Structure 1
Amino acid sequence: MRKAVLFLLLGLFILPAAQALAATQYVSDQLMITLRTGQGDQYKILKMLKAGTPLEILEEGEKGHLFVRTPDGTEGWVQKQFLTTETPKPIVIARLEKERERLQDKMKQLETRQAELTTELENTRRERAGGDAALADLQKKLDTVSAEYADLQTKSADVVELAAERDRLEALSIRLSSEVDQLREENENILFTGAVKWFLAGGGVLLAGWILGKTSRKKKGFY
């Protein structure tokens, strides 16, 4: 149990150290340092490292030396005093220059997009103006058609009324014609009846006269 606790404590101490060793440091400004095969000037120089070169810290050695790895994968020893955790000014300047270029490109893109949107806006305004004119023309045509429709409705109502009046007059004419025919027939009947009565009355008078005359002659002959 004690061994387990001891190993755990060692792990807690070793882990931060390993994380620190894995950090990246840079060659200080205005320096050219050597990357050697060992910890000391007597060891072979692998390459020269200029200021701003990022180095991955792999191991901390003796006498202020660090075992590092360069960006191209070369591993060796350098003196710790010539390294810094601060980003070198050349790298900062380079990053700022790159960021400025990126922002300038972005600004150009935005300017281009702004010009495109301005053109689209102007086209939209012109199209809308044309659309408003077309809409006004259509509204005018619609008003005309609506007026014509209302006039037709009025005329249609007049036609219906006239047709009803025509039908009423036709019915009245038929009824009056029937009454006239009936009166004509009654009048003719009255005239015929009068003629018959007059004829019969005249004939009676003649017959009475003839009878009286004959009777008178017979009396004269008797005396």
Structure 2
Amino acid sequence: MKRLILALSLCLLALPAWSQTTRYITDQTEITLRTGPTTGHRILRMMKPGTPVRVVESGQDGWLLVETRDGLQGWVLERHLMDTPSARDQLAAVTKRLERTQQELAELKQSLAAGNDQLSAAQARIKELTTANERMSRQLEEAARGLTLANENRELKKQIVDLQREIESLQNETLRLRDRSRRDWFVTGALVVFGGFLTGIIVTRIRWRRQSSWSSL
């Protein structure tokens, strides 16, 4: 989960630098990637809407030399490029990230449920052993008052010591499970808040870019 939070944070920090070198095919229609800066040059490829390209150099009459992710270079008209990914692509990316976050939360809840079951079992065992310890302590006291069975007395003492050790071990395990449960719930809450915050930022940017795009038409 820590790696997921770090990765999302780095993605947000990297967006400005990435946008300086990368442009995106308009989401209105497919465009042509040509061998030269005119419509008379041969078509190398049809570029789908939203495809990212790296600008290599600027030409004349509004043409740009760009490079695709697979290394193919060609010329396109600058008016067919956008500075940011299309709203459709951004929404799909956010949806995918949210799905991964929800899956992480589901797995964490299962882990917490298992931890709670272990905690309940440990507490029940402690209660059972405490009762047995008290019973055997009474038996030891009775043996000390009048019994001459030294072997039985020593065996009872040994059993009491063993029970006390097991109780101490289970108490330590109970404390560990409680700490883990509190920590995991805290991380779950933080992840939900971060996911909501991230979604709010990206959806707000998408709406702003759409309004900006419409106002420029």
TM-score in terms of structure 2 length: 0.55
Q: Give 1:190's aligned residue.
A: none
Aligned residues: 131
Q: What is the alpha-carbon distance in structure 2 between the residues aligned to residue 30 and residue 141 of structure 1?
A: 88
Whether the aligned pair in 2 keeps the contact of 1:60 and 1:66 (CA below 8 Å) is yes
Q: Distance in 2 between matches of 1:33 and 1:105?
A: 38
Q: 1:21, 1:59 within 8 Å by CA — same for their partners in 2?
A: no
**2:115 aligned partner:** 117
Secondary structure class of the residue paired with 1:29: coil
Deviation at 1:110, TM superposition (A): 1.3
Return structure 1 stretches of 4+ with deviation > 2 angstroms.
19-22, 141-149
Q: Which runs of 5+ in 2 are unaligned?
A: 1-16, 148-217
After TM superposition, list the pairs within 5 Å mapping 1:164-179 onto structure 2.
none
Identify the residue that residue 6 of structure 2 maps to in structure 1: none
1:136 maps to a residue whose letter is: E
| 2:26 maps to amino acid | S
| Cα shift readout 1:118-168 (whole Å, capped 9, x = no counterpart) | 21112112211112112212332343345449xxxxxxxxxxxxxxxxxxx
Q: Among 45, 60, 63, which residue is 1:62 paired with?
A: 60
Label 1:81 to 1:62 Cα distance change in 2 as closer, same or farther (>3 A).
Answer: same
User: Which position in structure 1 is the counterpart of 2:94?
Assistant: 96
3-state secondary structure, aligned to 2:69: coil
Name 2:37's counterpart in structure 1.
39
Letter in 1 for 2:44: L
Aligned to 2:78: 80
Identity %: 30
SS of equivalent to 2:111: helix
SS in 2 for 1:48: strand
Superposed, which structure 2 residues align to 1:194-213 within 5 Å? none
Q: CA deviation at 1:22?
A: 7.1
- Counterparts in 2 of 1:78 and 1:21: CA distance versus 1, 3 Å: farther
Distance 1:85 1:132 in 2: 70
- Secondary structure of residue in 2 paired with 1:30: coil
Query: Structure 1 CA distance, aligned partners of 2:24 and 2:60?
Result: 19
- Structure number with greater Rg is 1
Whole-angstrom CA distance in 1 between matches of 2:19 and 2:27: 21
Structure ranking higher on relative contact order (CA contacts 8 Å, 6+ apart): 2
> For residues 108 and 86 of structure 2, what CA distance do their matches in structure 1 show?
32
CA gap 1:25/1:115 in 2 versus in 1, 3 angstroms: same
- 5+ residue gaps in structure 1? 1-18, 150-223
RMSD: 2.3
